[in-house]
C-alpha cells in the first residue's frame, strides 16, 4: 500500500514537471502579456501553496503566520536587488532571512501545540505586518532604469523554475526518511516520539524548508511587481490563500496543492470579472464543506470517484 502510494506520487511528480516543461515553451508560442501574467500568478501560487503544504500538510503544524516569511523574502530581496545586488544573491538572501527568522521563532512557537501554535503564529505574522507598515509606509517602486529593461518573460521563467523547485522538494521529501518522520509526527506526536522520532528537530526542519520556499516566492513577488506597498507582502491574505489552495486540492499530498492553486487562481480571476472578492465567499464555503466532509480535498474526492467507477 505504502509502496503503491509512493509510486503514484512519483507518477504525479513526473506529470507535473512535464507540464511545467511544456509551459517553458509558452512564451515562444503566445506573445500576449495577459496570458503570461495569468500563468505567472498560478506558478507563484503553486510555490506558495506547496511551501505551506510542507509544514502544515506533512508535519501537521498549521502555520497561520506564513505571510511573514513571504513578506520577509520579498522585503530582503527587493531591498538588495534595487540596491544593486545580483538577482540570484538577492533571492537567496531573502530565503535565508525568512528561514533564519523562522528558526528563531520556531524554537519558542513549537512549545505551543495545535490551536495555540496556529494562533501564536497568526499573532507573530500580524506583529511583523504592523511593524513593517509603520516603518515603511511609502510605496516601493522600481528605479526608472529597471522599469525600462523590464521583461515579463524573465519573471515568467523564474516563476517556472521556483514552481518546479517546490514540486521537486516535496516529491523528494515525501519519499524520504525525513518526510516519513514528519508524517508520523502529524499522525501522532507521542507515538512518533516513542518510536524515536525527534519531534522538535523534525518540526524545525519542516519549518526551515517551508519558509525557505516561501522566502523565495516572496523574492519572486518583489522581482515581478513594479510598485507595491512593502506591507502588502506581509498581508495575512497570503497565508489564507496558501491554506485554501492546499486544503481544497488535498493537504499533505504532492499534487493536491498544485491542483488547488490552479483551480483557485482560475476561479478567482474568472469571478473577479463580475464581483470583486466573490471567490472568497465561494472558497470560504467550499473550504468549510471540505473540512467537514472531505478532509482530503479534491484528491480524495477523485480517489473515491475512481473507486466507485472501478466497482
Partner 1 sequence: MSVLAQQLLLGLLIGGLYGLAAAGLSLVFGVLKVLNVAHGELIMLGGYGTFWLVTLLGLDPFASLALVLPLALAGGLALYWALFGFVVRADEETRVKNSLLIGFGLALALHALAVRLWTADERAVVTPYGGAVLGVGGLSIPLVRLLSLALAFALIAALHLLLRHWRWGKAIRATAEDWQAALLAGIDVRRAYLLAFAIGTGLAGAAGTLVSIGYSISPSIGLEWTLKALIVVVLAGLGSMLGTFVSGLFLGVAEAASAAAFGGPYREVAGLVIFVLVLVLRPRGLFGR
Residues that bind partner 1 (CB under 8 A): 62, 108-109, 111-112, 114-116, 118-120, 122-124, 126-127, 130-131, 133-134, 236, 240, 243-244, 247, 275-278, 280-281, 283-288, 291-292
Find the shortest distance in angstroms from Cβ 283 to partner 1: 7
Nearest to partner 1 of 62, 77 (CB atom): 62
Nearest to partner 1 of 145, 273 (CB atom): 273
Find the shortest distance in angstroms from Cβ 194 to partner 1: 17
Q: Which residues of 20-37 are buried (b: 16+ CB within 10 A; e: fewer)?
A: beebeeebeeeeeeeebe
Find the shortest distance in angstroms from Cβ 11 to partner 1: 29
Alpha-carbon span 259 to 246, nearest angstrom = 9
Find the shortest distance in angstroms from Cβ 20 to partner 1: 29
Alpha-carbon span 15 to 124, nearest angstrom = 37
Nearest to partner 1 of 34, 138 (CB atom): 138
Find the shortest distance in angstroms from Cβ 131 to partner 1: 6
Nearest to partner 1 of 48, 158 (CB atom): 48
Grouping H, G, I as helix, E, B as strand and the rest as coil, residue 220 is: helix
| 3-state secondary structure string across 235-284 | CHHHHHHHHHHHHHHCCCCCCHHHHHHHHHHHHHHHHHCCCCCHHHHHHH
Nearest to partner 1 of 133, 153 (CB atom): 133
Nearest to partner 1 of 9, 189 (CB atom): 189
Alpha-carbon span 152 to 226, nearest angstrom = 11
Find the shortest distance in angstroms from Cβ 57 to partner 1: 13
Alpha-carbon span 123 to 140, nearest angstrom = 25
Alpha-carbon span 96 to 31, nearest angstrom = 35
Amino acid at each position: 500500500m505504502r509502496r503503491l502510494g509512493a509510486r503514484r506520487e512519483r507518477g504525479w511528480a513526473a506529470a507535473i514537471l512535464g507540464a511545467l516543461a511544456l509551459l517553458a515553451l509558452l512564451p515562444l508560442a503566445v506573445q500576449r502579456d495577459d496570458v503570461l501574467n495569468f500563468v505567472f500568478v498560478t506558478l507563484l501560487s503553486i510555490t506558495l501553496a506547496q511551501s505551506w503544504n510542507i509544514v502544515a500538510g506533512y508535519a501537521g503544524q498549521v502555520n497561520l503566520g506564513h505571510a511573514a516569511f513571504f513578506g520577509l523574502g520579498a522585503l530582503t530581496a527587493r531591498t538588495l536587488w534595487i540596491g544593486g545586488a545580483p538577482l540570484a544573491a538577492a533571492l537567496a538572501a531573502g530565503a535565508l532571512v525568512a528561514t533564519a527568522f523562522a528558526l528563531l521563532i520556531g524554537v519558542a512557537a513549537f512549545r505551543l501545540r495545535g490551536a495555540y501554535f496556529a494562533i501564536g503564529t497568526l499573532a507573530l505574522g500580524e506583529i511583523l505586518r504592523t511593524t513593517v507598515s509603520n516603518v515603511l509606509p511609502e510605496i516601493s517602486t522600481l528605479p526608472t532604469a529597471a522599469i525600462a529593461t523590464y521583461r515579463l518573460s524573465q519573471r515568467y521563467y523564474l516563476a517556472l523554475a521556483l514552481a518546479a523547485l517546490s514540486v521537486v522538494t516535496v516529491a523528494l521529501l515525501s519519499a524520504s526518511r525525513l518526510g516519513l518522520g514528519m508524517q508520523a509526527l502529524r499522525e501522532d506526536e507521542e507515538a512518533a516520539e516513542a518510536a524515536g522520532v525527534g519531534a522538535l528537530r523534525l518540526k524545525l526542519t519542516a519549518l526551515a524548508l517551508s519558509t525557505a520556499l516561501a522566502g523565495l516566492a516572496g523574492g519572486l513577488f518583489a522581482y515581478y511587481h513594479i510598485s507595491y506597498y512593502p506591507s502588502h507582502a506581509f498581508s495575512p491574505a497570503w497565508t489564507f490563500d496558501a491554506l485554501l489552495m492546499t486544503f481544497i486540492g488535498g493537504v499533505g499530498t504532492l499534487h493536491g496543492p498544485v491542483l488547488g492553486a490552479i483551480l483557485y487562481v482560475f476561479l478567482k480571476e474568472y469571478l473577479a470579472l463580475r464581483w470583486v472578492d466573490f471567490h472568497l465567499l465561494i472558497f470560504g464555503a467550499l473550504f468549510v464543506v471540505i473540512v467537514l466532509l472531505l478532509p482530503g480535498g479534491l484528491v480524495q474526492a477523485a480517489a473515491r470517484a475512481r473507486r466507485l467507477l472501478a466497482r
